[in-house]
């Protein structure tokens, strides 16, 4: 199935039906009066996020979405039927933009989330609604209101927790196939991956997360080289990036450190927010002898930048648990807030406050307690008992 992540469509709510101009005509009823019914309301175009969809391909062939119009009013006080709403299903992570202004209208990122893209028009009133004491036979009615009409741009950003980035043929698709049941195309030439791929990783203790594999980046991708960098939108939602560095390119005269810097430069050119996301640097293809020899030098250079490097062999699976543990540490670690409360007051002021509190406590102890009088009802009861010769028990 072809992957489409950006389309332009036109939506229009149904027009409201017109009110009717009619008069009651029945046998033995003289001057029955106006009986024109109201027009029905037009239907609305409603977007619904569906987790079963993964592409915007259907919108490439169906670009016009018009809701049903409301029926016109009828005679005999009959109102027109309302138009049915048009429900349009879109994939999770769909962003909706106004084509004319470029403003983002909504982000549909929850399964079942609904959003009204174009509201239907309200139906017009029939002439029976305009009767008054001085205007008992109105010969006019209200027209229905047209429905809203917009030209929208739909942009899909895949929902994933971990994003894979790196040069083409760095082993990203192999990594996804090793840690999940996804089966992307794998070959020994660059730009094998042409569309993003998602995989669900089953981690320990029944935890899981989604990993996204995007096409490889090259130097100058922001200027249109290679496949460009438009696929980076699919890792914008990721919480952590796994940066795969191919150490087997040393024989071709490429420096893995320069490759690392080139990818980060492309991230910065696309979005500063994406460039600031946490990265897990992984040195891949250690199953090759010359790659394992280059590991020590690459690790030492990255250590000077205070960056930890995780060794990995996607072909043999060596180092996979450590990489998954590093991802889970970022995704599932819960930082507890500090429970201690710090004060910025000087110690002398704190001591003075303590002394004042002690003085107030001593003054409270030395103050004689004043006996409270009993309520009026209790005093009257006691007085009556004394008069009757009955002495109550003292409390």
Domain end point (choices 133, 156, 179): 156
What is the crossing angle of helices 320-332 and 172-179, to 10°? 80
Bridge pairing between strands 149-156 and 94-98: antiparallel
Are residues 278 and 245 part of one domain? yes
- Position 387 in a domain: no
**What are the phi and psi torsion angles at 275 (to 5°)?**
-70, -25
Range of the domain at 206: 162-332
Contacts of 355 (CB under 8 A, 6+ apart): none
Q: Which residues contact 207 (CB under 8 A, 6 or more apart)?
A: 328, 332
Ramachandran sector of residue 161 (left: φ over 0; alpha: ψ -120 to 50; beta: rest): alpha
Q: pLDDT tens digit string along 159-175?
A: 788 988 888 888 888 88
Q: Are residues 258 and 314 in the same domain?
A: yes
pLDDT tens-digit series, residues 110-151: 899 999 999 999 999 999 999 888 888 899 999 999 999 999
Tally of structural domains, the chain: 2
Q: Is 324 helix (H, G, I), strand (E, B) or coil?
A: helix
What's the CA gap between 366 and 369, in Å, rounded? 9
Query: Do 131 and 172 share a structural domain?
Result: no
pLDDT of residue 6: 84
Q: Which residue has the tokens 């016009």?
A: 64
Task: Provide the pLDDT for residue 189.
Answer: 63
Does the residue 220 lie in any domain?
A: yes
For residue 212 the two structure tokens come to 């996204």
Same domain, 17 and 138: yes
Strand partners, 86: 45
Q: What is the model's pLDDT at position 367?
A: 46
Single pTM value for the model? 0.66
CATH number at 124 reads 2.70.210.12
Residue 172 and residue 123 in one domain: no
392 alpha carbon, distance to own chain's centre:
75
Angle of CA points 26, 31, 37, to nearest 5°:
70
Given this model, what pLDDT does residue 39 score?
A: 94
Mean pLDDT by 10 residues, the chain (395 residues): 78 94 84 89 94 85 93 91 94 90 90 93 93 89 94 87 86 86 73 75 85 76 62 81 84 80 87 86 87 87 90 87 90 53 36 50 49 53 60 46
Distance CA 334, CA 213 (A): 26
Q: What distance in Å separates the CA atoms of residue 114 and residue 68, rounded to the nearest whole number? A: 19
- Helices vs strands, H then E, count in the chain: 8, 14
Boundary-marking domain end, from 281, 297, 332 = 332
Contact 288, 333 (CB under 8 A): no
119 with 166, same domain: the answer is no
> Which CATH number belongs to the domain containing residue 182 in this structure?
3.40.50.300
- Could you tell me if 215 and 229 lie in one domain? yes
For residue 97, count other CB atoms closer than 10 A to its CB: 17
pLDDT digits (tens, 9 = 90+) for 72-116: 999 888 999 999 999 999 988 899 999 989 899 999 988 999 999
Instruction: Give residue 383's pLDDT.
Output: 59
- Going by C-alpha positions, the residue among 271, 221, 212 that lies closest to residue 239 is 212
What is 84-104 written as a DSSP string? PPEEEEEETTEEEEETTT--E
pLDDT attached to residue 252: 66
């Amino acid at each position: 199935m072809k992957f489409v992540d950006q389309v332009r469509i036109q939506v229009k709510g149904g027009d409201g039906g017109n009110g009717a101009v009619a008069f009651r005509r029945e046998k033995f009823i003289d001057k029955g009066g106006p009986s024109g019914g109201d027009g029905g309301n037009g239907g609305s175009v409603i977007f619904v996020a569906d987790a079963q969809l993964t592409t915007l391909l259907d919108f490439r062939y169906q670009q016009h979405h018009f809701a049903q119009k409301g029926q016109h009013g009828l005679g005999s006080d009959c109102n027109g039927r309302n138009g049915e709403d048009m429900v349009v299903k879109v994939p999770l992570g769909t962003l909706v933009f106004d084509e004319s202004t470029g403003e983002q209208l909504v982000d549909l990122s929850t399964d079942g989330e609904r959003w009204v893209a174009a509201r239907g028009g309200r139906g017009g009133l029939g002439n029976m609604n305009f009767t008054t004491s001085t205007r008992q036979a109105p010969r006019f009615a209200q027209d229905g209101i047209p429905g809203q009409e917009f030209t929208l741009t739909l942009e899909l950003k895949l929902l994933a927790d971990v994003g894979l980035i790196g040069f083409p043929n760095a082993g990203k698709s192999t990594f996804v196939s090793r840690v999940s049941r996804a089966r992307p195309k794998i070959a020994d030439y660059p730009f094998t991956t042409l569309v993003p791929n998602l995989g669900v990783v089953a981690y320990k203790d029944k935890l899981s997360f989604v990993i996204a594999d995007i096409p490889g980046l090259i130097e100058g991708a922001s200027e249109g080289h290679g496949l460009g960098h438009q696929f980076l939108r699919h890792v914008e939602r990721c919480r952590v990036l796994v940066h795969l560095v191919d150490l087997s390119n040393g024989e071709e005269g490429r420096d893995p450190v320069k490759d690392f810097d080139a990818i980060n430069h492309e991230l910065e050119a696309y979005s500063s927010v994406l460039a600031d996301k946490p990265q897990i640097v992984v040195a891949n293809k250690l199953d090759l002898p010359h790659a394992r020899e280059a590991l020590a030098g690459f690790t030492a250079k990255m250590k000077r930048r205070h960056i930890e490097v995780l060794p990995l062999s996607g072909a043999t699976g060596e180092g996979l648990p450590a990489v998954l543990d590093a991802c889970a540490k970022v995704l599932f670690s819960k930082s507890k807030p500090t429970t201690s409360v710090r004060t910025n007051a000087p110690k002398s002021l704190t001591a003075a406050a303590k002394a004042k509190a002690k003085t107030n406590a001593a003054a409270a102890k030395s103050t004689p307690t004043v006996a409270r009088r009993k309520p009026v009802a209790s005093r009257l009861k006691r007085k009556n008992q004394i008069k009757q010769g009955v002495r109550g028990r003292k409390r």
